[in-house]
Amino acid sequence: MAGLELVILGVFTSAVIAFVLGSLHKVLGSAITIVASGFVFVSIAYYGLNGTLDVTSNLVPAFAYAESYASIYFAALVSFVFFMVSFFNPYFVGKMKYPALYSMLYLLSLAGVIGVFFVTNLLGFFFYFELVVWSSMFLIPLGKRIKSTAWYYGFSAFGSFSLLFALFILSGTDSNIYTALGIVSGSEQNLVFVLLIIAGFAKLGAFPLHIWLPKVLGSSPDPVTAVFSGGLEKMGAFVAVLVLLRLSPVGPMIDVLGLTLGQYVVGFLGALTIVFGTLMAIRQDDAKKLLAYSSMSNGGYIILALAVMTDTSVSGALYHVLAHALASTAAFLAIGAVNRQTGTTKMSELGGMIHKMPISYMVYLIAIISMAGIPPMGGFISKWLIFQSMINEGLIILSIATFFGSIGSFLYVFRPLAALFLGQELSEYKTTIKEAPFLMLIPMIILSLLNVVTGVIPNFVLSYINKILSEVGVSPLGLDGNFIIQGNNGNLQPALISGMFAVGVGVAFIIFIVLKKSRKVELTDTYTAGNFVYNEQLLHYTTDFYAPLERLYDQYTTIMKDFYKNLAYKVKEFGQVVRYFFFTYKPEITVFWIILVLLFLLWGDVV
């Protein structure tokens, strides 16, 4: 028996230890993060999946915990992401201003996110939620830019306040959040639904609360970026699972779609998230920002699929949480490795990394194949399940968004592959660059293997997801044996597809190998239509890769940002009005208000 409370308290303690040791020596603190997050992952995965996790709370009675299949699924996944990313910490703390603080906050945010998944009392839920917000908020400014923290704080505060109001309303029914979500009804239910959705959207970075996501992911330190995308964002998905599946969806039924209004609005916002994230990702120059927008777009898939609430869609959404966490963490780590070796993530400044960093290249390649939803990787399974539900329910507008996002993902994930890894090796990197150190390669290789495994034999995960489905009252997904998934309108055998892919590649390889051997030439030795090109930069095509496509929507890209800037301006203006009337140095205005207040207080007595 392992106590969940002990695990969480252990993380808190090791956070303090990491701070103390990190103050003595930079790398010691980050070594603690590896050990502690590894400990959390192993204990939650082992005892949680065995069903022997002890959730009673003896030491701190203010918090009550309960385990469910959903919470173990999410906690195991997120702690795994934290564990994998922590291998990067020793290599990145050196450049930071406060390395000890970094190690501590890293562990505190892990403790917070684990707490959110298991805690049941309302106040405890808010405590852990805020712990994540605050600890991750101070992780961001340890990177490139401090300004993005303000955006993060603004949107997080909005989400937190919504959550707090929702919890206030729920506290009228029961102190256990799961019971309360089941009891609440009527107009209170509608209000809780909207408020919790806002909280989830703010954490997941879904449209229209997405502005912070690319800024934060683009400018925070590389391990934090990976953790945000693979781990912390998934907390928003967890809140969305809570609100959409535990609380019955609200609003009148739209008969022709078979969805309630509440479901459709959430789904539609998810669809907008997909389209917006895709369009913005296509036009980024910074590889990290590009992947950040892709995270946003994938978050849209999760929301959209959860909102439809059928067996295929919910299992697709939950599988997508896993597949995207594995793929995006791997992709961010590969980009992080490049960043460590070169000092930049701008695609226009990089090229030909494959020559010196082939393993990072392969990791990135496998990750993007999964992200684009191509077999034989995990992303294909979840996208297939989501498409099944879209088609079966006949949701035309929402499916246009999913199709667009899925094809658009080929466009954006290919860009870093071509610009950053392929092409000519630029002269400034020819001598100095090496492959990432061995310790950094370990998590990258493990994640790549898992990307393949989840794509070839998904049924062992899907059978676990089926337990979550029965827990939340959705009919389980049909699984035939270990290899076949039964969809709404056809079966899928991922292992067969992967096997045939291997056969195809084998045949192609045989054709290739029996033919005459090629003569190797340099990458500068290419057809240039008679022009004499003397340096690598001129041949390497990276800047404005999709210029003709970007031109079509360039003028509309700042709409949301302008909206929030205008909103901020309006709030400021309103504040000035308030200040003009209430907080002024002019005595006549003060006297006027005093008289007015007195009049109001004496209303009915004197007059």
Partner 1 sequence: MSIGLSIIAGLGVALFGFVLQTSVAGLNRKVVARLQKRYGPKWYQEFIDIFKLLSKRATSHGWIFDFGVIMALGGIIATAMFMPITNNLLAFEGFDNFFIFVYLIAVGMLGMAMSASGSGNPLASIGVMRALTTMLAYEVPFMVIVLTIINLTGESSVSAIAQAQQLGGDFNWFIIALPIGGVVAVLSLMGMLGKKPFETYIAPAEIASGPMVEYGGKQLGMLFIMHEITVFIEVSLFVHLFLGGAENIIIFLVKYVAVYTFVNLISYVNGRFKIDQVVVFFYKWPLLLAVIQAVMAIYLGLVI
Q: Which of 81, 321, 390, 441 binds partner 1 (CB under 8 A)?
A: 390
The residue (of 204 and 385) whose beta carbon lies closer to partner 1 is 385
Which one of residues 244, 367, 369, 444 is an interface residue with partner 1 (CB under 8 A)?
369
Piece of the chain touching partner 1 by CB under 8 A; list 86-94, 148-156, 416-424, 597-605? 416-424
Measured CA to CA in angstroms, residue 406 lies from 54, 323, 568 at distances of 41, 14, 34
Please count the residues of this chain forming the interface with partner 1, following the rule CB under 8 A.
78
Count the Cβ atoms, other than its own, within 10 Å of residue 480.
11
H or E element in which residue 456 lies: helix 438-456
Cα separation, 221 vs 336, in Å, equals 9
Report the site for partner 1 in 435-474 (rule: CB under 8 A). none
Window of 140-148, 149-157, 402-410, 577-585 that interacts with partner 1 by CB under 8 A? 402-410
Interface residue with partner 1 among 417, 445, 457, 589 (CB under 8 A) is: 417
Query: Which residues are within 8 A (CB) of 503 and not within 5 positions of it... i.e. 6 or more apart?
Result: none
Residue partners of 7: CB distance under 8 A and separation at least 6: 39, 40, 43, 44, 114
Of the candidates 490, 364, 526, 533, the residue with the CA atom closest to the CA atom of residue 436: 364
| Interface of this chain with partner 1, residues 119 to 158, rule: CB under 8 A | none
Q: 248 or 488: whose CB is closer to partner 1?
A: 488
Out of 45, 64, 391, 446, point to the residue binding partner 1 (CB under 8 A): 391
Give the pair of three-digit tokens for residue 459.
């049924």
Q: Judged by CB under 8 A, does residue 274 bind partner 1?
A: no
For partner 1, the closer CB: 109 or 498: 498
| Cβ 439 to partner 1 shortest distance, Å | 26
Residue 410 vs 583, nearer CB to partner 1: 410
Which helix or strand (DSSP H or E) is residue 510 part of? helix 494-514
380 lies in the site for partner 1, by CB under 8 A? yes
Rounded distance between C-alpha atoms, residue 524 and residue 526, angstroms: 6
- Binding track, positions 507-546, relative to partner 1; x by CB under 8 A: xxx-xx--xxxxxxxxxxxxxxx---------xxx---xx
315, 360, 399, 448: which one contacts partner 1 (CB under 8 A)?
Answer: 399
Among positions 339-368, residues that touch partner 1 (CB under 8 A) are: 354-355, 365
Give the Cα separation of 109 and 106 in Å (integer): 5
- Please name the residues in contact with 449: beta carbons below 8 A apart, sequence gap of 6 or more: none
Q: Is the peptide bond before 376 cis (omega within 30 degrees of 0)?
A: yes
Interface mask (CB under 8 A) for partner 1, residues 470-509, using x and -? -----------------xxxxxxx--xx--xx-xxxxxxx
Q: Which is nearer to partner 1, 123 or 523 (CB)?
A: 523
CB of 546 to partner 1, least distance (A): 6
Q: Which range binds partner 1 by CB under 8 A, 3-11, 119-127, 206-214, 386-394?
A: 386-394
Among 43, 312, 341, 388, binds partner 1 (CB under 8 A): 388
Burial class (CB in 10 A: 0-12, 13-18, 19+), 121: buried
Q: Return the range that interacts with partner 1 (CB under 8 A); candidates 164-172, 210-218, 421-429, 461-469.
A: 421-429
CB of 352 to partner 1, least distance (A): 8
Q: Which of 132, 232, 118 is closest to 178 using CA atoms?
A: 118
Task: List the 478-480 sheet strands across, edge first.
Answer: 478-480, 484-486, 491-492
Minimal distance, residue 129 CB to partner 1, in Å: 37
Give me the least distance between CB of 237 and partner 1, in Å please: 24
The residue range among 170-178, 311-319, 397-405, 565-573 that interacts with partner 1, by the rule CB under 8 A, is 397-405
Q: What is the DSSP letter of 54?
A: E
CA dist 64 and 121 (Å) reads: 6
Rounded Cα distance between 554 and 279, Å, is 10
| 396 touches partner 1 (CB under 8 A) | yes
Please report how close the Cβ of residue 559 comes to partner 1 at its closest, in angstroms: 19
Looking at beta carbons only, is 252 or 490 nearer to partner 1? 490
DSSP string, 91-128: HHGGGSS-HHHHHHHHHHHHHHHHHHHHB-BHHHHHHH
Site string for partner 1, 576-595 (x = CB under 8 A): --------------------
In this chain, which of 22, 99, 408, 416 binds partner 1, going by CB under 8 A? 408
Burial of residue 557 (CB within 10 Å: 0-12, 13-18, 19+) is middle
